[in-house]
Amino acid sequence: MSAEVRKTSIVVEEIRSDIGRPVDPPTRKAAAIAVIKNPFAGRYEEDLTPLMDIGAELGGTLGDMCVNALGIRPDEAESYGKAAIVGEQGEWEHAAAILHPKLGAPLRKAVEKGAALVPSVKKMGGPGTPIDIPLGHKDAAYVRSHFDGMEVRLADAPRADEILVAVAVTDSGRPFPRVGGLTTDEAKGEDGLR
């Protein structure tokens, strides 16, 4: 089953200064959002495979949209995350089916490698509900400078029979990180942790 997409949106955030100091080069985050019809809205379905397949479709599409919006090569992506909001006629498990079993592999391909788990969050809500997409380094979960998030929302989504699916990708970590831990230069990206 392919996703029945009502709309997509891209948000690019660029931080040029922070705490009165210039950020050079600016740190950038992109979020790509798809609003899809929930094929199981209003009813219980035991087999959620169609939603899992939609997750695979959206992982690559939304990941590519983020990379393109940032104007970077896939290997220049540094962190990523995923999120979903299910409209009121759906259920939590619909978001889980989209986000967990199959979305990660195509997203990893879109950003090249991606040894670390893709941070995720899901919630239920109606039009205008905000969601914070959690972010973590794509290859090494212990890189603290990339523990971050990006808030997104669409004024008209999700409707009761829809699911809002979002992926975020960055070209850097937080500006002026100073809480220690593994640095991007030290990360090997072999085990997803270090």
Beta bridge partners of 8: 34
One-letter-per-residue 3-state SS of 140-191 = ECCCHHHCEEEEECECCECCCCEEEEEEEEECCCCCCCCCCCCCCCCCCCCC
How does pLDDT run across 67-118, given as a tens digit for each residue? 999 999 999 999 999 999 999 999 999 999 999 999 999 999 999 999 999 9
CA distance 70 to 77: 9
Is the Cβ–Cβ distance between 85 and 123 less than 8 Å? Answer: yes
Beta bridge partners of 9: 33
Sorted by sequence, the CB contacts under 8 Å of residue 91 that are 6+ apart come out as 40, 44, 124
pLDDT tens by residue, the chain, 194 residues: 799 999 999 999 999 999 999 999 999 999 999 999 999 999 999 999 999 999 999 999 999 999 999 999 999 999 999 999 999 999 999 999 999 999 999 999 999 999 999 999 999 999 999 999 999 999 999 999 999 999 999 999 999 999 999 999 999 999 999 999 888 888 888 888 88
Reference 38, options 75, 82, 68, 6; nearest CA is: 6
Tell me what pLDDT residue 29 has.
98
